[in-house]
Amino acid sequence: MAPVLAAQGLSVAISTRDGRTVTPVRNISLALDAGETLAIVGESGCGKTMTCLALSGLLPRRAQVTATSLTLAGEDLATLDRRRAREVRRQRLAVVFQDATNGLNPVKSVGWQVAEAVRLRAGGSRAAASAEAQRLIGRVGLPDPARIMRAYPHQLSGGMNQRAMIALAVAGNPDVLVADEATTALDVTVQAQILTLIAELQREVGMGVVFVTHDLGIVAQIADRVAVMYAGRIVESGPVGEIFAAPRHPYTAGLIASLPRIDRRERDLSVIEGQVPPIDAMPDGCAFAPRCQRAADDCRRTSPPLARLGGVHAACLHPLREMA
């Protein structure tokens, strides 16, 4: 079965005002099957949002998105003209960001907007779309769906608008949902509700999900596979169980080690020292070297390629042993 979303060699280059070019996403490849959840994790500034924007076709024109191939639901977006590519994405792919309030139209009721999204993707009558919209608004945990249907975005709180945006995103069953920290700002109960809804839609209609988060705890709960991003590259990827049980890249190991655990005292909490390098000052060789305890001379000269190691792929010259 062909993946529902696949990118090969995806890069984003942006020309800065002072005439330089920065590359927040560098040659990444990913594939998502129907019904599957791929989590993209990494610290702030690693290029996760840029990746989502590139996949969704939402970057401004001055950002150059290049890819060897980029397919969505069987269509090769790289070979389509801009307009047709936008059309395919609108039908097949939905995206929700952390602060999605801007994604709602301020002069249309929430119900109208969700119903339009249902009609756009699934067709059908206005009445049927409206009924489906109301059902979805209930499923994202918004109280009194009939009232919310008639409400305008400014009449709802930020958290309610975020839930409305999620209803809008999944309306009409897109093939792919890209959720970029979409539930991060919601309280844990609402977050759990949304995650349940997403899981149900995955089972019911085979929706594939790209779930971007810095919260590894959620990844362990919901993801099938994980891609770890560092400084614009995927540095490790593989099935969630294998990555958590035996990370091969020191950055992944550091992220997992800094997860709070009940059986660990606070003073034992390890965090990765240092910071993600600024995009306009990438070190030569491995970008993680300045923070890596395993770094050797060759790491500062050679940029490690992503290579297969057992069941995962990792970009490291001195990877951790399998049963470290």
Ligand X SMILES: Nc1ncnc2c1ncn2[C@@H]1O[C@H](COP(=O)(O)OP(=O)(O)O)[C@@H](O)[C@H]1O
Which stretches of the chain bind Mg ion, using CB under 5 A?
48-49
Gyration radius of the chain over CA positions: 20
Q: Should residue 230 be labelled a site residue for ligand SF4 when binding is judged by CB under 6 A?
A: no
277 part of the interface to ligand X, by CB under 6 A: no
How far, in whole angstroms, is CA 75 from its chain's centroid?
Answer: 21
Q: Which of 13, 80, 282, 295 binds ligand SF4 (CB under 6 A)?
A: 295
In whole angstroms, give the CA distance from residue 256 to residue 303.
Answer: 23
Classify each residue of 65-98 as buried b or exposed e, where b means 16 or more C-beta atoms within 10 Å of its C-beta. bebeebbbbebebbebeeeebeebbebbbbbbbb
For residues 27 and 66, give the distance between their C-alpha atoms in angstroms, rounded to a whole number. Answer: 9
Are the CB atoms for 192 and 37 separated by under 8 Å?
Answer: no
Contact 303, 289 (CB under 8 A): no
Q: How many residues bind ligand SF4 (CB under 6 A)?
A: 13
The residue sitting closest to Mg ion, measured at its beta carbon, is 49
Nearest residue (CB) to Mg ion, 116 versus 181: 181
The binder of 22, among Mg ion, ligand X, ligand SF4, none, by C-beta within 5 to 8 A per type, is ligand X
Q: Which of 4, 6, 24, 225 binds ligand X (CB under 6 A)?
A: 24
Closest listed residue to residue 49, CA positions, set 36, 60, 62, 40: 40
Shortest CA distance to 231 belongs to which of 304, 293, 301, 178? Answer: 304
Instruction: Characterise 226 by phi-psi region: left (phi > 0), alpha (psi -120 to 50), beta (else).
Output: beta
Closer to ligand SF4 by CB, 211 or 251: give it: 251
Q: Does 128 bind ligand X (CB under 6 A)?
A: no
Establish if 50 lies at the interface with ligand X (CB under 6 A).
yes
Work out how close the CB of 32 gets to ligand X at its nearest, in angstroms, rounded to a whole number.
18
Min dist. Cβ of residue 139 to Mg ion (A): 26
Interface map 207-236 toward ligand X (x if CB under 6 A): ------------------------------
Interface residue with ligand SF4, options 193, 288, 309, 312 (CB under 6 A): 288
Among 234, 292, 306, 309, binds ligand SF4 (CB under 6 A): 292
Which residue is it, tokens 């529902």?
A: 4
Binding site for ligand SF4 (CB under 6 A): 249-250, 286, 288-289, 292, 294-295, 299, 304, 316-318
